Amino acid sequence: MAVFPTLPKRFHGPSVWMLYAVGLVPAASAFYLGATGQLPGNAVKEFEHLLGLWALRFLIATLAITPIRDLFAVNWLRYRRALGLLAFYYVLMHFLAYMVLDQTLRFEAIVADIARRPFITIGMAALVMLIPLGLTSNNWSIRKLGQRWNKLHRLVYVIAAAGALHFAMSVKVVGPEQMLYVAMVAALLAWRAIRMRFLRSKRQQAGPIRSRPATEKAAG
Ligand code: HEM
């Protein structure tokens, strides 16, 4: 039984567009506050940090869709693509803020930073892995790639792990905030590892006749 009331079907499409619009508000507000001198401390760093944090939050939200459905019977699959793409846009903006505002496009310094500072190397690796996922997050690619699409998009777990590690390594002393994000990503990875066993035992409890729903197969 679903624990949340279900949204009428006619609101499904608009609610996805609403999510894109609301999802971009933190970036717009951080940009506005930065441009009007209202960000505390070093405005460039603060802007870069906010974008990085939201990137990680959207990555975590993307990965949370499947466990939420498994555990609470709430189907938010329709929002997964929007959440994943929002994560992608935020990582791109975070990277652009780093390149343009932080490093002022000094390419040698950027390359040296990526090569020499392990947390930036890991962040860059996450961005590189995220690009094919962002580019194939559309119906045409799903049709074209078939099963390979599912395999490719499993990379999102590696990307989230890299993002959380990058966050933890970006600070001198790992505090509660970094620990919380690392724990959330670890829990989502653990769920992925035990999910099939959980679903099998749930099916067995429900009785031998019930077959596996198609949506369950698509969720991988
Ligand atoms: C999936 C990809 C990425 C995620 C999720 C991510 C996330 C984050 C987060 C959460 C922070 C810390 C924010 C805070 O302190 O509040 C951060 C900091 C930072 N990230 Fe990323 N990031 C990613 C990719 C990148 C890339 C590609 C670069 C550049 C090549 C980069 C460069 C930096 C830098 C320079 C900092 C700030 C370090 C400082 O405090 O000086 N990140 N990132």
Q: How far apart are the first and last CA of the chain?
A: 22
CB 134 within 8 A of CB 159: no
Question: How far is it, in rounded angstroms, from Cα 179 to Cα 184?
Answer: 9
- Long-range (24+ apart) CB contacts under 8 A made by 71-76 are 72/2, 72/3, 72/4, 73/1, 73/2, 73/3, 74/2, 74/3, 74/4, 75/2, 75/215
Residue type, 52: G
What residue numbers bound the domain in which 54 lies? 14-193
Does residue 5 or residue 6 have the better pLDDT?
Answer: 6
Question: How far, in Å, is the centroid of ligand 1 from the Cα of 44?
Answer: 13
Tokens, residue 204: 């067995």
**134 is a domain residue:** yes
Question: How far, in Å, is the centroid of ligand 1 from the Cα of 52?
Answer: 5
Please say if the pLDDT value at position 103 is more than 70: yes
What is the structure's pLDDT at 205?
87
**5 is a domain residue:** no
Please say if the pLDDT value at position 180 is more than 60: yes
Give 57-125 as a 3 state SS string.
HHHHHHHHHHHHHHHHCCCCHHHHHHHHHHHHHHHHHHHHHHHHHHCCCCHHHHHHHHHHCHHHHHHHH
By three-state DSSP, how is residue 5 classified?
coil
**151 is a domain residue:** yes
**4 is a domain residue:** no
Question: How far, in Å, is the centroid of ligand 1 from the Cα of 101?
Answer: 14
What is the structure's pLDDT at 218?
46
CB 97 within 8 A of CB 47: yes
pLDDT band at 1 (very low <50, low <70, confident <90, very high): low
CB 88 within 8 A of CB 141: no
CB 100 within 8 A of CB 54: no
Question: How far, in Å, is the centroid of ligand 1 from the Cα of 211?
Answer: 44
What is the structure's pLDDT at 213?
57
**3 is a domain residue:** no
Tokens, residue 199: 């679903």
Q: Which residues line ligand 1 (CB under 6 A)?
A: 45, 48-49, 52-53, 55-56, 59, 91, 94-95, 98, 114, 120, 123-124, 126-127, 130, 159, 163, 166-167, 170
Q: Ligand 1, atom 35: nearest CA belongs to which residue?
A: 98
**198 is a domain residue:** no
Count up the domains in the chain and report the number: 1
Q: What does the pLDDT look like over 115-141, one tens digit per residue?
A: 999 999 999 999 999 999 999 999 999
**62 is a domain residue:** yes
**108 is a domain residue:** yes
